[in-house]
Structure 1
Amino acid sequence: MADRERGDDMRHCLLRWFSLVLLLCGVANANELSRQKILSRIFFQSLQQWHYAGVSVDDGFSRSGFKNYFRVLDPNKQFFTAFDLARFQPFLLKVDDQLAQGEFDLMVLASEQIRKRINEIRGFLPELAKDSFDFSRSEEVELDGEKREWVTGVADLREYWRLLLKHQTLIRFLGRGEKSKDSPEAVKKALDKARTESLKAYMDMLERMLKSGPEDDLARYVNAVLGVGDPHTAYFPPKEQKDFEIEMTGKLEGIGALLGEADGYVKIVSLVPGGPSWRQKQLEPHDRILKVGQGKTGPSDDIVGMRVEDAVKLIRGPKGSVVRLTVRKADGRIEEVAIERDVVVIEETFARSTVVRGESLQTSLGYIYLPRFYNDFQDKGGRNSTTDVRRELENLKQRGVSGIILDLRGNTGGALTDAVRIAGLFIEKGPVVQVRDRIRGTQVLKDPDDDEVYSGPLLVMIDRVSASASEIVAAALQDYNRALVVGGAHSFGKGTVQQMLDLDRIVPDQAEKLGVPLGALKLTVQKFYRVNGESNQFKGVQPDVYIPNTLSHLEIGERYLPFALNGDRVKELEYPRRREITLDLRERLRNRSRERITSDPYFIDLTEYVRLARINRGNTKVTLNLTKARNQREELRRCLENVRDRREKGSGLVFLDTAKIDDSGGERLSREYRERRRDWLENLGKDHVLKEGSRILEDLIRLTSG
């Protein structure tokens, strides 16, 4: 069954079930129910009756929902005081009851109070910016709200905002690109300018927060409460539902990145394969966007505190125009990235292959890169990743390669059907993955045929971004002992499936009476399990051999998300295991790789950068002393430059252009394709992680050939 058919079947089943339950609960046939009451009852029933985990909406849920609401509403504890929280405390065990009854008293009270505090801050903030800051003092500010207590009163709140303003001034000053010959007068002038800009940025942020309306308040509260079930269950108000659908169809042009919110910042969640940001390779997951500017030069708008949908309006624009993003990297660096807006280059998302050779290799290896699991379900003759990977395998076999690398790094998933079929290209027959839900129980998805296209030595590469369908393939081939899995410490760890439900279809009569759309609910309804019975959820796929990379210091993965579902087990299936890749062989391969990495100049520099970046990330209490901040920044900058210099020198591997150019689109299309492919091969030659993966595969070939 195709993914779209499977999803539609599940969605229709959900809609029928929801309508029945809500009818029994008196929602579907009630004459006078407010929109909020209808929504709350739908959410209450969905969490308990249809969410995969069957969430108990009780006092324990209420405590978690209460805490999560204020974590979302004031993540850095920079608005509310301890006095405010004491006023809210009577609702600690009432969140569940209010959800069941369709009451939102806590939301109304908290929304009113935060607006009051915002207005107070707007009143005293300009006063704090009148005097110059003394950056020679040894002051610090704690930026992590989880490590701070709520301030006791307005005086303490004022002092904390003074430290925040001073910190932002320091960050802006350091981000301007210091000149060693700057005079003290020039430094003072630059600091004064940074202070003025920081004040304006904060005042703009506070103004935007005051403009949020009742619909924003409702969505924020509901999603904080629903998030207790798991981080992927969410409510989409009508406008956000429309934006979500536009995003899924990919009709608007921009930078090709999925954006999210974190602690008041708009952040990069992932890059769209084939999009301009993905092709440029300067933005990374976890980058926080501070400012957005239009054109190659000119002023930029601060977007700290801006809603994602408002930030998107600034980032999107006509194809060919330039947008500049000022981002704060996860290691603390601030960079400005200029990106030419464009659509996704479809060819860049397709599977492609090449032959790898080099001085460090004794044989020729095949390499297949798969950015995502694609399938055009609307066009039976359209391209799909299974057919394309099969073609690349046949091509590499004809060239007599000794082993093949399947690169799933950065692959966030896609079509489940193709994940099952691509895994099946490397095994004769058998199960690939188990899918469990609360209606149909556990279903086993099997390799649809007995055709093992490639039976030789195989290595699969993953990283922390590899998710969903990528994890299904890597896990299946690892369980079968069919492939060696190498790469980052773990894959993303997303082993759940969500369904998007149009709430107007659940209670159509009530929606029509209200005259206002209800929006949509994204609900977690299924979980994937490996053939060995384990789930990839939370912990992800663990590599057989770990290779450090530039993502090693980032907290990317399900395990870092609040209220993420834990992994569990179902019954192990019967499946044939290969005998070549044993526990002893894995250990020998790990030891050989470790010896190379510890003496490789690139990995030595990379390890030092990761160490410093982790320290910077963990030090949430940051210095406000200019000399100390400057020294920390310079140390990290030098270390990163060393890594980049090593990368630019190349890995020593050579990648042959083995593509068969399709000239049906004319000479220009062929030329553009060749240019893009040449750039791709050139970048592969700078990939030291791929070089180590190639060496591991060659070790595997040697150790299993005799």
Structure 2
Amino acid sequence: MNTILNFMKRNYKILVAILCLSVVFFAFNSNAKKDNDPERDKLLLELLTFVIEKGHYSPAAIDDAFSKGVYKDYIQALDPSKRFFLQSDIDEFSKYETRLDDDLLSKDLTFFNLTYDRLMLRMAEGKKVYKAILSKPFDYSIDENFNTDYDKAPYTATAAELKDRWRKQIKLSTLSSLTDRLKIQETKAKGTEETSEVKSDSLEMDLLDKAKSDKGVENSAPKTFEELEKETRVSAEKSLDEYFGFMNDLDKNDWFSVYINSITSRFDPHTNYFAPEEKERFDVSISGKLEGIGARLQKKNDYTEISDLISGGPAWRGKQLESGDLIMKVAQGNGEPVDVVGMRLDDVVKKIKGPKGSEVRLTVKKVDGTIKIISIIRDIVEIEETYAKSSVVEKNGFKYGVIYLPKFYIDFDDKGGRDAGKDIALEVERLKAANVDGIVLDVRDDGGGSLSTVVDIAGLFIQEGPIVQIKSAGRKKEVLYDRDKKIEWKGPLVIMVNSFSASASEILAAAIQDYKRGIIIGSKQTYGKGTVQNVIDLNQFVRNSAMGDMGALKTTTQKFYRINGGSTQLEGVRSDVVMPDRYAYLKMGERDVENAMPWDKIDAADYTIWNDNAKFKQAIANSKMRISQNDQFKLIEDNAKWIDSRSEDNTYSLNIDKFKTAQSSIEEKAKKYKPIYEYKNSLKFNSLPNEIDALNKDAILKEKRERWHESLAKDIYVEEALNVLDDLQSKAVTTKAMPVKIKKGKLAKS
């Protein structure tokens, strides 16, 4: 949920000037190492605290209360399941609970070094513990329980108690897997098709399928309880090996980033430090593109595996690299190949990525066991899933368009590159060419992005006027306007939101709602993030490159407000039509996050509401009536309450008979909600004509679109959005109504 504001050049220049003057206070060692250098860490602390104090919208006081918060967050981040530290460790650490504010200001790293060294020791001990536990069968006849509410669990006093906690954690995991395997086997023996109702993770299913294929038969003989029990331990050990392999890949700088972010998050939840690799990933996420080969990688023990190829990328176009290939060596052009087996995933990625036009040669082990050298010319790779897409559907004699916007993306380094504003304008233009009678703009799960694109997108649906108000600390408000009098789409409009629609999504929904330009439907309220962040490259303030890449800081510099003066902070945007949500009762919004900034309001802007909304009230009333009478929505609401009631149930029996009984009871109750997942509407969604040629040439893109269309045909929320468009239709020619002007939040004739 990151809102980047490029309208803040004035404030940013002031901040840069202050920081440039402050650089004289920083002393550097020209021979300093780039990795695990305490002088670099101290410099980073000084940079971060200075930038936050000077640039943050409302910086917190660095005092004992601040120190306690940092301590709590950091210890929890290091050991969230309380399976590494002993109570004696915590007793030792707690001496620093109210000292971290002083340590921060004096750049004292004693606490960090103490906790890091202790964690490395405890992790090494933990690896021996799980290996020993999984070396022999579990006794599932013992009557014992395990509580997974780690927040309320105490730290263990002795190594023996900690080992027992490990044992119970692992036993619960293997017990769940074992009961799944037993049920799958029983189901196969009955010759039924009930396996779809059995919960089993993909790894376990892969093991079962592999075992079947290894024997070369479709229906292998049933396995004994002992054989299945052993399989679960093998699977659990493999998962833990991969977990510890990932943890071993983290170096001291990675853990220092965890410590740094425990500090920055005390100012507010969206002030974060980006280590160099994280900054790169953030840039990719906000722009939707990168320079490389277009492959997603994952760690598989000591190997780096190709998990997926990005459609349209150079690796995909080359047709030599495949999912499942293992990368053994990487060479730059004609250079010497470097062995990457056992190398950190981030380091492998660095070697494979590179500028457009350069060559990389990968030595890979194919899925059939053969070794092959594959040459790929790097190029700009666009991540298609980042970008807006649209579909058309016919309903009750009308044709409607559905646009999905996953993120408010923009490339700040390339003004001619793709951005959400231009892409949505293009999708609207294409839908108009297809003669649609209404548009649904879906920003569900859209965590935000560029604020400038919000102004462009909202401006497509109004003649002109303010879109959002911005306020910086100690400065007058700034109003961002759509100044283009052209209205790209004048017809019926529905905006779909949910609890995870945040930041830029909320600005768009709020503007459309305040203008009464469209109807907002979805969860009771959106996420509630009403703050603006700037990303500041810390390297510009460092004179000595020997320190290495210092990363970047994303810090909250402003708050934004609706044009009616209200803030979306905490409260979010309340839907005109509330649709039941399975997760409606769980705590997941900004209002549930510690250190969130408060709600407030400012004066309203001057704006003119949309004058063609005669059917608004009736359409909203009709939708509310349909939802209240719809059995599917009633079931979703009932399911939400059930999920909420189960969220406090954290105790599990480790006795197999009692565990089976409890799981059977849960599964029996869950059957009631099976129709939620099986729901299908009678609508058929299709791609626009401009996309048809691309789909015929790109099998991967075609499959993705088909999956999206299938999901739309199962989406009752989209169906109700289209019902609202039905209610907004008016084929009769109407006379132009007198515009109504909002001035300081009051109605006035213009």
- Per the normalisation by structure 2, the TM-score is 0.72
Counterpart CA distance in 1 for 2:394 and 2:297 is: 30
Alignment equivalent of 2:533, drawn from 498, 501, 524: 498
Q: Which residue of 1 is the match for residue 439 of structure 2? A: 404
Q: Which residue of 2 is the match for residue 18 of structure 1? A: 19
Counterpart CA distance in 1 for 2:453 and 2:500 is: 19
Q: Which residue of 2 is the match for residue 133 of structure 1? A: 138
- Checking the alignment, whether the CA contact within 8 Å between 2:390 and 2:688 is kept in structure 1 is no
Matches within 5 A, 1:288-687: 295=324, 344=382, 346=384, 349-357=387-395, 361=396, 363-375=398-410, 384-390=419-425, 392-393=427-428, 402-438=437-473, 441-508=476-543, 511-512=544-545, 514-549=546-581, 556-578=588-610, 580=613, 588-589=621-622, 591-597=624-630, 599-600=631-632, 603-604=633-634, 606-607=636-637, 609-626=639-656, 627-628=660-661, 630-631=663-664, 634-635=667-668, 638=671, 641-647=674-680, 651-655=681-685, 659-660=689-690, 669=697, 680-687=708-715
After superposition, the Cα gap between the structure-2 partners of 1:619 and 1:312, relative to the gap in structure 1 and judged at 3 Å, is: farther
Name the SS of the counterpart of 1:80 in structure 2: coil
Counterpart CA distance in 2 for 1:569 and 1:272 is: 47
Counterpart code for 2:661: K
Shift of 1:699: 3.4
After superposition, the Cα gap between the structure-2 partners of 1:408 and 1:705, relative to the gap in structure 1 and judged at 3 Å, is: farther
- Checking the alignment, whether the CA contact within 8 Å between 2:390 and 2:427 is kept in structure 1 is yes
Counterpart code for 1:424: G
1:164 aligns with 2:169: yes
- Checking the alignment, whether the CA contact within 8 Å between 2:536 and 2:553 is kept in structure 1 is yes
Q: Which residue of 2 is the match for residue 283 of structure 1? A: none
Alignment equivalent of 1:193, drawn from 231, 244, 248: 231
Counterpart CA distance in 2 for 1:321 and 1:542 is: 53
Counterpart code for 2:232: A
Counterpart CA distance in 2 for 1:106 and 1:655 is: 58
Q: Which residue of 1 is the match for residue 26 of structure 2? A: 27
Shift of 1:472: 1.3
Deviations 1:301-333 (A, max 9, x none): xxxxx9995998999999x9999xxxxxxxxxx
Name the SS of the counterpart of 1:191 in structure 2: helix
Name the SS of the counterpart of 1:500 in structure 2: strand
Alignment equivalent of 2:291, drawn from 251, 257, 264: 251
Shift of 1:536: 2.1
Counterpart code for 2:559: K
**RMSD (CA atoms):** 4.6
Consecutive unaligned residues of structure 1, counting only runs of 5 or more, are 260-270, 277-292, 298-305, 324-341
Q: Which residue of 1 is the match for residue 716 of structure 2? A: 688
Shift of 1:443: 1.4
Name the SS of the counterpart of 2:524 in structure 1: coil
After superposition, the Cα gap between the structure-2 partners of 1:92 and 1:553, relative to the gap in structure 1 and judged at 3 Å, is: same
After superposition, the Cα gap between the structure-2 partners of 1:314 and 1:67, relative to the gap in structure 1 and judged at 3 Å, is: farther
Counterpart CA distance in 2 for 1:557 and 1:311 is: 36
Deviations 1:457-497 (A, max 9, x none): 32211123323322211110111222210012333333333
Counterpart code for 2:552: A
Counterpart CA distance in 2 for 1:552 and 1:703 is: 37
Shift of 1:686: 3.0
Deviations 1:192-213 (A, max 9, x none): 3322442454466457646644
Alignment equivalent of 2:270, drawn from 232, 246, 259: 232
Q: Which residue of 1 is the match for residue 107 of structure 2? A: 102
Alignment equivalent of 1:37, drawn from 42, 48, 52: 42
Name the SS of the counterpart of 1:148 in structure 2: coil
Counterpart code for 1:645: E
Deviations 1:405-443 (A, max 9, x none): 222224333432231122122222221001223375421
Counterpart CA distance in 1 for 2:412 and 2:542 is: 29
- Checking the alignment, whether the CA contact within 8 Å between 1:28 and 1:507 is kept in structure 2 is no
Shift of 1:582: 10
> Which structure has the greater CA radius of gyration?
2
Consecutive unaligned residues of structure 2, counting only runs of 5 or more, are 33-37, 190-220, 300-307, 314-321, 327-342, 354-360, 368-379, 735-750
Matches within 5 A, 1:101-120: 101-120=106-125
Counterpart code for 2:390: R
- Per the normalisation by structure 1, the TM-score is 0.76
1:216 aligns with 2:254: yes
How many correspondences in the alignment?
635
Name the SS of the counterpart of 1:464 in structure 2: coil
